[in-house]
Amino acid sequence: MALTGRTVALLLLGIAPLVALGDGSDAAYALLAGWILLVAVLVATDLALAASPRAVALERVLPARIRLDKTGESVLLMTNRGSRTLRGVVRDAWQPSAGASSTRDRVRIPAGERRAI
C-alpha cells in the first residue's frame, strides 16, 4: 500500500465545509475532525487489506551467457506467498549499459500463484 494523491485530494475535500461554514464555527471544526478521522479509517482499512510486499518472492531467469553484440531474454517470476491478492506496479529495471528498456507492468497475482513478467 502506498499513499497517493488520491488520499491528499480526499483530505482536501474536507476543507470545503470549513470554508463554507466560516472559520470560526465549532460545527465546521467538528465536521473537519470527523472527516480526517474517516480518511484515517479508510487508509487503515486499505493498509489492512493490502498484500504484504514481504510475501512476494522474485526470481529472475536468464540465459547462461550472452555475447556483447547479441540480445537475450530475461524473465522475472513473481510468486505471491501471502494470503491476499497482490495488485501493483512492477518496474523491471536494468542498468542503462545493459540496453534494456525500463518498463512498468501492472500485476494482479492471487494468493499462492506465480506470474512471469
pTM above 0.85, yes or no: no
What does the alpha-carbon distance between residue 85 and residue 63 come to, in Å, rounded to a whole number?
30
Helix (H) or strand (E) holding 23: none
What is the chain's pLDDT, residue by residue, as a tens digit (117 residues)? 677 788 888 888 888 777 777 766 787 788 888 989 999 999 999 888 888 889 999 999 988 888 877 888 888 999 999 999 999 899 877 776 677 776 788 999 999 999 998
Strand (E) positions, the chain?
56-61, 75-80, 86-92, 103-109, 114-116
